[in-house]
Amino acid sequence: MSDLPARRARRPLTLLLAALLCAPPFYLDVFWLRVGLFAMAAAIGAVGLGLLAGTAGQLSLGHSFFLAIGAYGYTWLAGAEPGAGLPTAVALVASVLLAGLAGGLFSPVAGRVRGVYLGVATLALVFLGHHILVSAEPVTGGFNGLSVPPLSVGSFAFGAGESELVVLGVPFGAEERLWYLSLALFAFTWFTARGLLRSRAGRALKALRDSETAAAVMGIPVARYRAGAFVMSSMYAGLAGALLALAFRRVVPDYFGLALSVDYLAMIVVGGLGSVAGATAGAVFVTALPLLMTRYADRLPLVATPGSADGGLGPTEASRYLYGAAIVLILLFAPDGLSGLPRRLRARVRSRRRPAAGPTSTAPVVRTKEPTP
């Protein structure tokens, strides 16, 4: 009951933020919209990994494997040749379920192995998945990958179709349409993840993270909750992979490698473990940084323009160094990540105001006479 007034106070801010997020397609160009699309897709995957690593305390280095299942699953299920030719909306849902099924097949391992051992076990999924994507050329297209069919619901296409759509004088192309689809799916991810954290299952996962022995004594089925967290994380990754495929419009095996899994680990560490808002902030930071450095490489020192023969660092390598340094600084000075910075600032402001705003006593001072010997 004590949280009810705080939730009511946050509702106007939530509505204002939702209105602001609906405005960019009317004011920003295609580059910034694509940055937002990649960031929202990455945020969905980071929220899933945050539930697994930050809430359940399980380390996974195979997140890119489930992203690949979502991306290639949608592309193959919605494609005609090669593919199953399913309706694209059905293919999107089926790709998420397919990623969950893959997570379920691996869940017996995730339910019994923890820590760095689970990280090594999931690392094998990345190499296995890359080998399959390259070798199964009739299905995956091999090294060249596959073109991604645009998503359509009924007669409305979320791609650059023949039907021209103009809203308030602004032509809505593929990026503008995908923006609202990604925003809706991200909002769904946000509220479902926060609801899970506040539920009985979320409290059980937190207890499992804090002390496995204490959780088992309280009657929590450890292996089942671990496996369930892994399946949920896989489904979020599958949805993120399908959205990334729609944004890229082509899927290739080299994108879904170990570097992508490391990027997602960086997202949840930078943003803050166990926080939906922190995972979102970390995803925006890690995703947008290389894109911005690529665009403004000619204005940045020590950063070479892509394709040039200069001896400077490429934008991607430079961005990895930067958010690697950010991880070190956060671990040293803000272990709870970006999500904990507002709380730390509020605590510091209150600690500074407390002596000045403290109540002053107005009671008269009573002096007592010292007894004479």
Name the residue with tokens 């192995």. 113
The mean per-residue pLDDT over the stretch 353-371 comes to 53
DSSP 90-130: HHHHHHHHHHHHHHHHHHHHHHH--THHHHHHHHHHHHHHH
CA 107, CA 117: separation in Å to the nearest integer? Answer: 14
Which residues in 338-362 are b (16+ Cβ under 10 Å) and which e? bbbbeeeeeeeeeeeeeeeeeeeee
Look at residue 368 and tell me whether its pLDDT is greater than 60.
no
More confident residue, 193 or 330: 193
Which DSSP string do the residues of 161-196 spell out, in sequence order?
-SS-EEETTEEE-HHHHHHHHHHHHHHHHHHHHHHH
Q: What's the average model confidence in pLDDT over 88-93?
A: 93
Average pLDDT for 204-228: 84
Domain ranges across the chain: 31-256
Lowest model confidence (mean pLDDT) among 42-46, 82-86, 91-95:
82-86
Amino acid at 30: V
User: pLDDT tens digit string along 66-85?
Assistant: 999 999 999 999 887 777 78
Tell me: the pLDDT tens digits for 237-250? 999 999 999 999 89
- pLDDT for position 8: 63
To which residue do tokens 């089926």 refer?
94
* Other residues' Cβ atoms within 10 Å of the Cβ of residue 333: 9
Distance CA 169, CA 191 (A): 33
Taking residue 6's Cβ as centre, other Cβ atoms within 10 Å add up to 8
Q: For residue 273, how many C-alpha atoms fall within 13 Å in the half-sphere facing its CB?
A: 17
Mean pLDDT of 165-181: 79
Residue-averaged pLDDT of the chain: 83
CB count, 10 Å around CB of 7? 9
Burial 238-262 (b: 16+ CB within 10 A, else e): bbbbbbbbbbbeebbbebbbeebbb
Identify the three-state secondary structure at position 363. coil
